Amino acid sequence: MNYEITSLIRWSLKDKKNLINSCNWIKSVMSRKLIGRFSSHYSVNSYPLELQKLLTQTINGMPIKNNFSGKISDSNHEPPEAILLASKKIQINNEIDWELEFDDPEDIESLHRWNWLTYLASDVNNNSKNLNWSINQIEKWCNKYHKECFLPDKKLNNLLRWESYTISERISNCILISHLNNIELTDIIKESLIDQTKLLFRRLEYFNSFTGNHIINNARAIYFSGLFFGVREWSNFARTILELELKKLVTIDGFLREGSSHYQFLFTRWMIEILFFAELFSDKKASSLLKPFVKKLINKTIFFTILDKNNKSTDIPLFGDISPDFPPEWLKDFCESNLININENSHLPEKSWNRLWEKLNKPIINNLNSNDENDSIMSFKNSGWHRVEKYDFTLMLRLDKNGFPPYVGHHHNDVGHFYLYYKGLPIFVDSGRINYHDQFGLTPAAHNTIAFDQINGVVPAKPFRYPYDYSNCSNSIKIINNDKECKLLLTSDGFARFDDGIIWEREIVIQSKSFSISDQLIGNGSYNLYTWFHFDRKAQCVLNNDKNNYKFNLHNESIFFSIHNLNSKKVSLFNGGDSVLGWQSTRYGTKYPKPTIEIISKINLPFKSEYSLTVE
């Protein structure tokens, strides 16, 4: 049974304030739909006033010099065997077929974003002949599509290759790789980059309260173009965007506010690259603006980095969306980059963002360490992220103070969800969201949490569909650490929208060789309670005793998981197969079978359930 609609009606009729909220919400939904039907996809009217005032003089700014330097790519070309897109590789015989169609639009956009260029340049097995071929392909793209820059907005809006995020990636990838590899671009490519930058000025991704990280990527592209084509108005405009938006998008603690650990890495990478060029071109205003943000962002990227016994990056716990731009493993050793810390003895993977900066002999950021990164307990309540190191366990937890944020992001319906590592290796994980078509990956069922039906957890599925006061809730966390154990108490009133007074308390206890969870629901009413536990894909279930006790072999360890105090229940173990449960995605577009335990209980409140995990 889905309780959401009936509980919304009951909530709306409970008092006059709620009824007014519901009526205003209906009006705003209808207004947004009406405006959306008659408005352009992009609108200068949505820009902040500061940018609207700068826009005319900025667009009229013209290149006065060419700061590209190096050798124009010669005729010695050699295509790679394949290039990587968002979810697949495409084989290359000689040239790129730009008209390729894919089921996932992210693959189409990835092709036209030229992300493959950056990925090729970061692969130790590729050489200058591959890069010469790549620049040659980009020139052919410009010959084929440059004229579309001058199409009316209505036509551009129907072409994925002219989405503003795609334009931004094109500009940034081309300028970054040409500079780092000492390649001077041809006049055809330069002309196209200039016109694409001009087009971007009137198609910035400002969407009022739905403005997200894309606006920073727009600024990155404009900033790069301004520096490399010598247009001071352009770089100043981009710096103004950064001044206005970074303080909104980055929390006071240094997290990208959008609820995704992978996007934390991706966004921080953008910021470091902007700072790199600000330092290179002695833009002191940009440097002084960026450095405090970059330092905080890097420290909170370290927060998400799981290390082995040799302090090498092994994993990123993938909360929230996985970006289609570049795979997590390409960024996982991000904090070992020469841009941040010169380490001549560092062993880099064959394909890595760090490979782009191997020749750099001077970091742009120093004195990174702050006190919280050395603590065994790191709790950032204002940002919703918590990390506990206890014995050989690492617990990563997401719990926003509010049920869901009133802005766009890449977060999931994952209140109370956690990752658990033992000796740096994953035990409990996130199912992941395989692609942006996948709706299951957003739901509580894809996470280590609970719900009163399959999709509606502490907050409703698609909470923006409902009045904010209805969907929102209050969450809190208390952490008690002593020599014997570490105890975390999570509290949420999210289920109170179904019936006043319902409180969920989740207690997590970490001891030397054990990890236990108890879920207590306080209140009244009868419900179907769903609980999920997602094990890492490398876990092998070798024992299942009456569906209450399980033994897993995982990373040469024996893991025992037990379900306690549940009488009326249905317990299922999934591992691949036809169900959406039992799968794990660790990069965009891929999935692997993994064990998932789903427990369905018919309960009367108050109610308490208990679970335990031990390692031998």
Both tokens assigned to 44: 């200068």
Per-residue pLDDT tens for 277-320?
A: 999 999 999 999 999 999 999 999 999 999 877 777 788 999 99
The confidence score (pLDDT) of residue 114 equals 97
Structure tokens belonging to residue 230: 């010598």
Tokens of 169: 């990636």
Q: What percentage of the chain has pLDDT greater than the value 90?
A: 68
For residue 147 the two structure tokens come to 């004229």
Is the pLDDT at 208 greater than 90, yes or no?
no
More confident residue, 69 or 169: 169
* Of 63-67, 142-146, 568-572, minimum mean pLDDT range: 63-67
Mean pLDDT confidence for 96-111: 96
Average pLDDT on 521-549 reads 90
- When pLDDT is averaged across residues 533-538 and rounded to a whole number, the result is 96
pLDDT of residue 1: 44
Q: Could you report the per-residue pLDDT of 12-30, keeping only the tens digit for each?
A: 888 888 887 778 777 776 6
Say if residues 354 and 333 touch (Cβ distance below 8 Å).
yes
Question: How many H helices and E strands in the chain?
Answer: 15, 25
What are phi and psi for residue 468, nearest 5 degrees? Answer: -60, -40
So what's the pLDDT on residue 167?
Answer: 98
Q: Is 577 left (phi over 0), alpha (psi -120 to 50) or beta?
A: left
The reply to whether CATH 2.40.50.90 applies to domain 375-615 is: no
Q: Which residues pair with 89 in a beta bridge?
A: 84
Alpha-carbon dihedral 321, 323, 324, 327, rounded to 10 degrees: -120
| Predicted local confidence at residue 37, as pLDDT | 44
Provide the pLDDT for residue 240: 97
Which residues in 511-556 belong to E strands, given as ranges?
514-522, 526-534, 540-545, 549-554
Residue 38 pLDDT class (50, 70, 90 cuts): very low
**What is the average pLDDT across 58-82?**
79
What pLDDT shows up at residue 365? 72
Q: For position 8, what pLDDT does the model report?
A: 84
DSSP classification of residue 147: G
- For residues 201 and 60, the answer to whether their CB atoms sit within 8 Å is no
> Among 62-66, 247-251, 375-379, 552-556, where is mean pLDDT lowest?
62-66
Q: Which of 597, 604, 263, 255 is nearest to 449 (CA)?
A: 597
Model confidence at 253: pLDDT above 90 = yes
Comparing C-alpha atoms, which of 319, 339, 591, 553 is closest to residue 427?
A: 553
Both structure tokens of 545: 């005793």
What is the enclosing helix (H) or strand (E) of 404? none
pLDDT tier for residue 567 given thresholds of 50, 70 and 90: low
AA letter at 238: A
For 346-360, 467-481, 494-508, 588-602, which range has the lowest pLDDT when averaged over its residues?
346-360
Nearest to 133 by CA among 191, 74, 84: 74
Q: What tens digit of pLDDT does each residue of 439-456 get?
A: 999 999 999 999 988 778
pLDDT of 329-380, one tens digit each? 999 887 777 777 655 555 677 889 988 988 777 777 765 554 454 578 999 9
Q: Distance between CA atoms of 589 and 586, rounded to whole angstroms? A: 9
> How crowded is residue 308: how many other Cβ atoms within 10 Å of its Cβ?
12
- Model pLDDT for residues 377-398, shown as the tens digit of each residue: 999 999 999 999 999 999 999 9
Token pair recorded at residue 119: 């990925």
So what's the pLDDT on residue 436?
Answer: 95
| Look-up of token digits 């993938």 | 318
Cα 20 to chain centroid, rounded: 35
Q: pLDDT confidence of 163, banded at 50, 70, 90?
A: very high
Q: Which of 161, 189, 160, 195 is nearest to 175 (CA)?
A: 189
pTM: 0.94
Q: Distance between CA atoms of 300 and 334, rounded to whole angstroms? A: 12
Chain mean pLDDT for the chain: 89
> What confidence score (pLDDT) does residue 344 get?
55
pLDDT in tens, 259-272: 999 999 999 999 99
The domain segmentation of the chain, as residue ranges, is 375-615
**Nearest CA to 536 among 462, 586, 571?**
586
Residues in the chain: 616
